[in-house]
Amino acid sequence: MKTNTAKTKLTALSVLATLTYCLLLFSSFTEGWDDFKLGFQEGYSFKLQTYFVDLKAKKSISSFPDSLTNIKMGEKVNIRYDKAQVRAAVIPVPGKSIDKYQLIETLISLISFFIVIYIPVLFFKLMKTLMNEVVFDKKNIRYLRKLAVLLIVYYIVDFITNYISYRINVSLFDFANYKILREPADMIWLLLGVVLLLFAEILTKGSKIQEEQDLTI
């Protein structure tokens, strides 16, 4: 009876994890959909490009250099912009090493494309075996290790991409009231990667104990 409950729990949790992962994927797709359409338009015209710029007020943290009308109150409110999409010509400024950065960025985009496709495949495979009650399997350990490594690589790729776009932005733009910042990479991927590596270690220990138990029987 108790074993049955544990089995149901594991299946339910695997289904839940799969659903949450799908939600996570869906929300990143919907978030990035407009940017994807924009990129497609730009790739089609080859004239202009959008640069994603993180900003910070130059003067101090309490300065609001801009203002906008709040239609609700009919009053001007003080504004400080935090993130912006700047549209500029594709042709880089002469003498700047943008070509080199763009080449690295393209290579890294390919790696991240591979990771983005491969992670869900591994994740769904792992969840499927867990749903079928196959826990202490060598395949699972391999899936987990691969997933963890891919997540850590994804974090590194994200970090490098953000650094490159920061370098490109700094070499192309300078604004009167704002400093250009580097967007931080999301640490949650690194944390998730390490948690999965821990999980893989626990599974390894478990599979060894199971092997020994099977041999004893």
Partner 1 sequence: MKNNKKKTSLAVLSILAGAIYFITLIPYFVGGWEGGIRNVNESCKIQTDGVDNESKGSRILQRIQVETKSNDILYSDSIVNIKTGKMMPVSYTKMYVNDESKEPNSILYLILTIVVFLGGLPFFVIPFLFYKLVLSVYKDEIFTLKNIRRIKTLGILYLILYATKFAYNLTNYYIDTSTIELRNYNIIKPDLGYNFLLIAILLFIIVIVMKRVMIMKEEQDLTV
d(CA 122, CA 151): 11
Q: Least distance in Å: CB of 109 to partner 1?
A: 21
Q: Distance between CA 201 and CA 217 in Å, rounded?
A: 25
Cα distances (angstroms) measured from residue 150 to each of 88, 123, 136, 137, 154: 34, 11, 22, 20, 6
Q: Which candidate, 29, 173, 163, 36, places its Cα nearest to that of 108?
A: 163
Q: Is 98 in the site for partner 1 (CB under 8 A)?
A: no
C-beta closer to partner 1: residue 74 or 110: 74
Write the CA distances from 33 to 27, 40, 72, integer angstroms. 10, 11, 30
Asked if 90 is part of the footprint of partner 1 (rule: CB under 8 A), the reply reads: no
Does position 115 bind partner 1 by CB under 8 A? no
CA distance 146 to 152: 10
What is the rounded CA–CA span in Å between residue 24 and residue 30?
10
Give, rounded to a whole angstrom, the gap between the first and last alpha carbons of the chain. Answer: 23
CB of 107 to partner 1, least distance (A): 26
Q: Decide: is 122 part of the binding site for partner 1 (CB under 8 A).
A: no
- Binding partner 1 (rule: CB under 8 A), the pick from 102, 112, 129, 204 is 204
Residues 6 or more apart whose CB falls under 8 angstroms from that of 79 comprise 64, 66, 67, 68
Closer residue to partner 1 (CB): 13 or 107: 13
Answer for which of 23, 103, 107, 121 binds partner 1 (CB under 8 A) is 23
The least CB distance from residue 190 to partner 1, in Å, is 5
Closest distance between partner 1 and the C-beta of residue 189, in Å? Answer: 8
Binding to partner 1 by CB under 8 A, coded x per residue (else -) over 25-64, reads: --x---x--x---x---------------------xxx-x
Indicate the residue among 97 and 210 with the shorter CB distance to partner 1: 210
- Residues lying near partner 1 in the complex (CB under 8 A) are found at 6, 9-10, 13-14, 16-17, 20-21, 23-24, 27, 31, 34, 38, 60-62, 64, 68-73, 75, 77-88, 93, 130, 135-136, 172-176, 184, 187-188, 190-192, 194-199, 201-206, 209-210, 212-213, 216
